[in-house]
């Protein structure tokens, strides 16, 4: 018997349909993955199943949970199910724990107030939940003292403490690197066990593949296809699904290396960076040539973005030398930002901001139009402010902006980590295109190893800081590249 069965769930905002009828069922021990890009309606579907749509949105359809049948149009009735039937694992769990309450208490309160256990028993249960997850000593810590992975485990324990058999996880790997992503997938699967239900909402193809079970692909509020995850990954039946899979960096074909690398644009010798008291890395040497794509990857906090900033001269190195090509003009070293919205003047129209740069760089206003066309951008975007343009378009506009400056070197700092896969693929193509056609030296920093592997001519892998052993390894790996 299904743990959860939903029939013809629709979501509307006034007259606009945001989600066309979707039916699904969740069986014990078999996870269900809902896969889609931004705007596909995947989160709305989950919210409709929980009865927690934002105000103003209206849901229709029937949801059967256990032996209860509810109408998705009356969300108030769902509230009694939260915690005791359905548990939700929120996005970014480290923000979902009360910053002023100890971890164990946040689990114990669900045992006590939702399940009705006595305070003493509730505390004991919370402690045993934590030790089952390998967090026996973390109970007395506050959320800011937990690592991201620990916070995720505490959140899972807290979400299920009320007795929920069904767990809904909304983008559980948002902002995580590959190793942590697999860890979370395995944890969710083991928590589900044989009798539990697991519904995962994600845009992350690797997560979907690792979770397995059944898969529903959504696009613009419509179901594209559904079936077992293995079958769909083996042979996607629809054009969109194929496009989506092809956009996954794992399945990109490696970019061919430049035949004749040009002269070195930047080089660094025996570089060390320190933030506060912490050494991020040391002993890194590198050389980036014109027309070359240099990839840097590593776990979060390893200093890969700081390395780029140091090369641009934005932060001083603690040790070592950085040499920028003598002949280049002083503004030939440019940067693309992770969040392009924050990289444009907030209250200036994009067209004006670009015109400012064109004037400053002394190039003709027509050049903007030529580049707009070359990057596939609609001229209408120039009239908008940065907040009103999609991330992918704005990142292309950022590329346009730095190209106006005729750069010799571009540091692209996680340029696509906030973009959907298909957009990501096209932006990365354009950035590497600048290296291929204009002979610009490009340094791409990304936590996505596959992306770096398939785009860069040479790769620098940084590892967790604070370990002498690791630091030596970079030295070997980095120097072997040049």
Partner 1 sequence: MKLIASRLVQAVMVAILIGTATFIMMRSLPGDAAWRIAAGRYGYDNVDAAAADTVRAELGIDGPALPALLQWLSDLARFDFGNSLVSGQPVMDEIVHQLGASASLALVALLLSLVIGPPFGILAGLRPGGMLDRVLLVASTGVKAVPQFLMALVLIVLLAVHLRWLPAAGHGELRHFILPGLTLALGLAAVNARITRDAMARIADMPFWRFAQWKGLSERQTLVRHGLRNVSVPLITYLGLQFVTLVEGVIIVESIFGWPGIGHALVHAIFSRDVPMVQGTALVLGLGFVIVNSAIDLAVRRLDPRVAG
Partner 2 sequence: MSSIDFQTTRRLPLSPMRAIGTGLITLVAALSLLGPLIVPGDPLAQSLIKALAGPETGAPLGYDHLGRSVFHRLADALRLSPVIALAAVATAGAAGLILGTLSAAKGGWIDRIFVMLADALLALPGLLLVLIVLAMVPGTALGFWAGLSLVLWVEFFRLTRAATRETLASPAVQASRLLGFGPVYLFRIHIWPEIAPMMLTAAAFGTATAIMAIAALGFVHVGMRAPTPELGLMMVELLPYWREAPVALLSPVVVTFALLLGLTLLAGSRET
* 339 lies in the site for partner 2, by CB under 8 A: yes
Going by C-alpha positions, the residue among 332, 342, 283 that lies closest to residue 307 is 283
* 118 lies in the site for partner 1, by CB under 8 A: no
Structure tokens at 323: 């040499």
Q: What is the separation, in whole angstroms, between the first and last Cα of the chain?
A: 60
Residue selected from 337, 381, 382, 471 as contacting partner 2 according to rule CB under 8 A? 337
CB 82 within 8 A of CB 166: no
Backbone angles phi, psi at 381, to 5 degrees: -60, -25
Residue 142 or 252: the one with the smaller Cβ distance to partner 1 is: 142
Residue 44 or 50: the one with the smaller Cβ distance to partner 1 is: 50
Q: Strand 222-228 vs strand 214-219: parallel, antiparallel, or unpaired?
A: antiparallel
* 57 lies in the site for partner 1, by CB under 8 A: no
Q: In the complex, what is the shortest distance from the CB of residue 43 to partner 2, in angstroms, rounded to a whole number?
A: 9
The entry of partner 2, partner 1, none near residue 158 (CB within 5 to 8 angstroms by kind) is: partner 1
* 98 lies in the site for partner 1, by CB under 8 A: yes
Three-state helix/strand/coil letters over 220-269? CCEEEEEEEHHHHHHCCCCHHHHHHHHCCHHHCCCCCCCCCCCCEEEEEE
Residue 95 or 235: the one with the smaller Cβ distance to partner 1 is: 95
* 109 lies in the site for partner 1, by CB under 8 A: yes
Q: Half-sphere exposure of residue 375, counting CA atoms within 13 Å on the CB side?
A: 30
Query: Buried (b) or exposed (e) across 173-193, using 16+ Cβ within 10 A?
Result: beebbbebbeebbebbbebbe
* 144 lies in the site for partner 1, by CB under 8 A: yes
Of the candidate spans 5-13, 84-92, 291-299, 421-429, the one that interacts with partner 1 by CB under 8 A turns out to be 84-92
* 58 lies in the site for partner 2, by CB under 8 A: no
* 316 lies in the site for partner 2, by CB under 8 A: no
* 90 lies in the site for partner 2, by CB under 8 A: no
Alpha-carbon gap, residue 397 to 382, rounded angstroms: 9
Q: In the complex, what is the shortest distance from the CB of residue 88 to partner 2, in angstroms, rounded to a whole number?
A: 19
Q: 3-class DSSP state for residue 129?
A: helix
- List binders of partner 2 among 343-382 (CB under 8 A): 343-348, 353, 356-357, 360-361
CA dihedral 112, 68, 34, 297 (to 10 degrees): 0
Residue 91 or 338: the one with the smaller Cβ distance to partner 1 is: 91
CB 439 within 8 A of CB 292: no
The entry of partner 2, partner 1, none near residue 401 (CB within 5 to 8 angstroms by kind) is: partner 2
Residues near partner 1 (CB under 8 A), total: 30
- Contact residues: partner 1, CB under 8 A: 50, 52, 79, 82-84, 87-88, 90-92, 95-101, 109-110, 113-114, 142, 144-145, 155, 158-159, 161-162
């Amino acid at each position: 018997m299904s743990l959860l069965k939903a029939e013809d769930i629709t979501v509307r905002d006034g007259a606009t349909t945001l989600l066309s009828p979707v039916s699904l069922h969740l069986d014990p021990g078999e996870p269900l993955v809902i896969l889609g890009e931004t705007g596909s309606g995947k989160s709305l579907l989950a919210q409709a199943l929980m009865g927690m749509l934002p105000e103003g949105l209206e849901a229709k359809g029937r949801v059967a949970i256990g032996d209860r049948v509810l109408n998705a149009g009356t969300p108030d009735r769902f509230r009694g199910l939260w915690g005791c039937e359905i548990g939700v694992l929120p996005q970014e769990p480290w923000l979902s724990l009360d910053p002023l309450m100890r971890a164990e208490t946040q689990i114990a309160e669900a045992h006590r107030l939702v399940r009705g256990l006595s305070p003493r028993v509730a505390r004991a249960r919370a402690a045993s939940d934590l030790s089952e997850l390998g967090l026996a000593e973390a109970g007395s810590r506050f959320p800011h003292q937990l690592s991201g992975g620990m916070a995720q485990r505490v959140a899972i324990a807290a979400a299920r403490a009320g007795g929920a058999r069904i767990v809904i996880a909304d983008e559980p790997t948002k902002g995580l690197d590959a190793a942590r992503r697999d860890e979370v997938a395995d944890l969710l699967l083991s928590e589900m066990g044989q009798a539990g239900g697991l519904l995962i909402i994600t845009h992350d193809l690797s997560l979907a593949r690792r979770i397995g079970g059944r898969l529903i692909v959504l696009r613009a509020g419509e179901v594209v296809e559904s079936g077992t995850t293995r079958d769909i990954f083996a042979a996607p039946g629809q054009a969109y699904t194929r496009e989506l899979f092809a956009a996954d960096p794992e399945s990109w074909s490696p970019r061919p290396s430049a035949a004749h690398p040009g002269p070195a644009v930047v080089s660094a010798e025996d570089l060390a960076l320190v933030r506060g008291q912490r050494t991020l890395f040391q002993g890194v040497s590198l050389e980036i040539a014109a027309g070359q794509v240099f990839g840097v990857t590593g776990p979060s906090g390893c200093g890969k973005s700081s390395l780029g900033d140091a090369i641009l001269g934005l932060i001083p190195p603690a040790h070592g030398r950085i040499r920028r090509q003598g002949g280049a003009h002083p503004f030939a070293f440019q940067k693309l930002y992770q969040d392009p919205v924050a990289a444009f003047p907030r209250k200036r129209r994009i067209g004006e901001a670009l015109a400012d740069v064109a004037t400053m760089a002394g190039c003709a206003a027509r050049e903007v139009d030529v580049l707009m066309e070359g990057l596939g951008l609609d001229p209408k975007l120039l009239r908008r402010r940065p907040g009103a343009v999609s991330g992918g378009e704005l990142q292309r506009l950022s590329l346009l902006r730095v190209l106006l400056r005729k750069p010799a070197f571009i540091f692209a700092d996680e340029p696509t980590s906030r973009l959907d896969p298909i957009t990501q693929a096209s932006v990365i193509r354009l950035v590497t295109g600048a290296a291929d056609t204009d002979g610009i030296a490009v340094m791409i920093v990304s936590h996505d190893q596959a992306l770096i592997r398939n785009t860069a001519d040479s790769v620098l892998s940084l590892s967790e800081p604070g370990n002498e052993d690791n630091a030596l390894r970079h030295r070997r790996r980095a120097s072997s590249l040049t």
